[in-house]
Structure 1
Amino acid sequence: MRLRICTWNVNSVRLRVEQVARFVAEQQPDVLCMQEIKCQAPEFPREAFEAMGLPHLAIAGQKGWHGVATASRLPLEPGADWGACREGHARSVAVKVQGVEIQNFYIPAGGDIPDRTLNPKFDHKLDFLERLSAKAAAAGPKAPLVITGDFNVAPGEFDVWSHKQMLKIVSHTPIELAAIEKLRASAGFVDLVRETTPDPTKLFSWWSYRAADFRASNRGLRLDHIWATPALHAQAFAGRGAEARIHDDVRAWERPSDHAPVIADLAL
């Protein structure tokens, strides 16, 4: 069977439920992992997701800028709580679908100053990544595991509009690049989008609202990711290569999120 996994920082699920419904109708994801839902669990638009054909929900809600949720066509079982957020924010939710564990994360942005001592938000971000690395290493490369979400790190030279300029900006600083590579290596994760579209093609999933025309300026970052362990990758693709892409056309829809959805297909 095909298991189509999508990650999308929707930047308020209630504000953008119509865009979500349109995308779900067009692309038919089996599992939709959302970040920044910006609501508590009782406020989540459950009926709208039932109407979309995604009735199975795992929600970690919170007022303000956080909150994550995973919606599925298929029944969900709880996944392992990795305890990634030391601040107790609603930044993760874990499920199991068809034997695959899917960890959905909204990793902290980290503020503006890339210094752990001077900036507690940056220290929190690195602590979050370090906790994920430890948990992923314990799970190991043989686990049928996908980690996905808004990682708030653009890991590669071709995942940013300007590698040289962005090295000084939080989301692409050397310390973050080292931390995200440690996470990738911890369980030998395969970056499914990059496997589909290798370097040096530039790929972005986020563009600032400040650009009047995001395509014209194209100062984007690839912050949203779907990574699979080697065991799952081998099981799913058997040497065929991943089928994954960023749906950047959605960023041009009316009243969009500043993030575009990302999809990967697993052939289980």
Structure 2
Amino acid sequence: MPFTLATWNINSVRLRAALVQQLMTEEAPDVLCLQECKSPLELMPLEGFATLGYTHVVARGQKGYNGVAILSKLPIEDMGDKDFASLGHARHVAGRLENGVVIHNFYVPAGGDKPDRTVNEKFGQKLDYLTEMRDWFHAERPEKAILVGDLNIAPREDDVWDHKKLLKIVSHTPIEVDHLSAVQEAGNWVDITRQDIPQGKLYSWWSYRSPDWDAADKGRRLDHIWATSDISASAHSSRVLRAVRGWEQPSDHAPVLATFDL
């Protein structure tokens, strides 16, 4: 049975609950994974989402920061979470659909401003987080799984507006790209978005700092949908909903969608 999955860094689920409901109404993905919810679980506006059919929730909340949630029309079993790099942050949660597919929802640390762990603790935490992801997937060898989320890295040259200018900017530095590649290889993950859209510039994030983000178009593809190689061929119809970045009081991220026939 086909199902459509969406991932979106919402940048406060309480502040932007109406936008989440708008996406649910207009696009109606079967599963919606949110990152940076910035809310404890008990304060997330889940009742409003349930009225639109999203009655199944697997989530981890945190007051004011981080937070990840899987909102589903389909029954889903809570498969736990991992505290990579021992940060004590709500950055990962996993759930299993009735068809056996395990969904991992990640919010990888942004890494601060300077790409040097000797002067920027947050950058070191990001690299450590990715290293522990790599080691976990190497040990567990996931099967029939989908990984989504704000991974805070734009790996390809055409995932950023200017490759050369961003080589020393956090999210596109070679060391981050290498770490993300190691995670991908360890889990035998396939980049579904680029499987379906293999060529051309593609972004999912545009900074709030740009007065006219759409015209300037200085974006980065930070949000990803991956699948293990045993199910990657069943994926199709990937999209980045760029127009959502232009909604009223938006997140600085746009939703990314993919459909799977499983």
Give the TM bin, normalised by the shorter chain: over 0.9
Matched, 1:260 2:251: no
Write out per-residue CA displacement over residues 23-57 of structure 1, whole angstroms, 9 at most, x where no aligned residue: 11111111111001111011011111101210111
- Matching residue's letter, 2:145: L
Q: Where does residue 231 of structure 1 map in the other structure?
A: 230
Q: Where does residue 114 of structure 2 map in the other structure?
A: 113
- Matching residue's letter, 1:211: S
Match of 2:127, SS state, is helix
Match of 1:147, SS state, is strand
- Matching residue's letter, 1:147: L
Deviation at 1:113, TM superposition (A): 1.2
Deviation at 1:82, TM superposition (A): 3.4
- Matching residue's letter, 1:158: D
Q: Where does residue 243 of structure 2 map in the other structure?
A: 249
- Matching residue's letter, 1:83: D
Q: Where does residue 202 of structure 1 map in the other structure?
A: 201
Could you tell me whether the CA contact under 8 Å between 1:79 and 1:103 is conserved in 2?
Answer: no
List gaps (5 residues or longer) in structure 2: none
Alpha-carbon distance in structure 1 between the residues aligned to 2:71 and 2:85 = 22
Matched, 1:129 2:130: yes
Match of 1:14, SS state, is coil
Could you tell me whether the CA contact under 8 Å between 2:83 and 2:89 is conserved in 1?
Answer: no
Q: Where does residue 63 of structure 1 map in the other structure?
A: 63
Q: Where does residue 23 of structure 1 map in the other structure?
A: 23
- Matching residue's letter, 1:119: N
Equivalent positions of 1:1-268 (< 5 A) are 1-97=1-97, 98-140=99-141, 143-199=143-199, 201-234=200-233, 236-237=234-235, 242-268=236-262
- Matching residue's letter, 1:255: Q
Q: Identity of counterpart residues, as a percentage?
A: 48
Alpha-carbon distance in structure 2 between the residues aligned to 1:194 and 1:99 = 24
Write out per-residue CA displacement over residues 147-178 of structure 1, whole angstroms, 9 at most, x where no aligned residue: 11000000100000000010010000011011
TM-score between both structures, scaled by the size of structure 1: 0.94
- Matching residue's letter, 1:72: S
- Matching residue's letter, 2:125: H
Figure out how many residues of one structure are paired with residues of the other and give that number. 261
Alpha-carbon distance in structure 2 between the residues aligned to 1:87 and 1:23 = 31
Could you tell me whether the CA contact under 8 Å between 1:86 and 1:124 is conserved in 2?
Answer: no
CA RMSD of aligned residues (A): 1.2
Task: Please identify runs of 4+ aligned residues in structure 1 that moved more than 6 A.
Answer: none
Match of 2:238, SS state, is strand
TM-score between both structures, scaled by the size of structure 2: 0.96
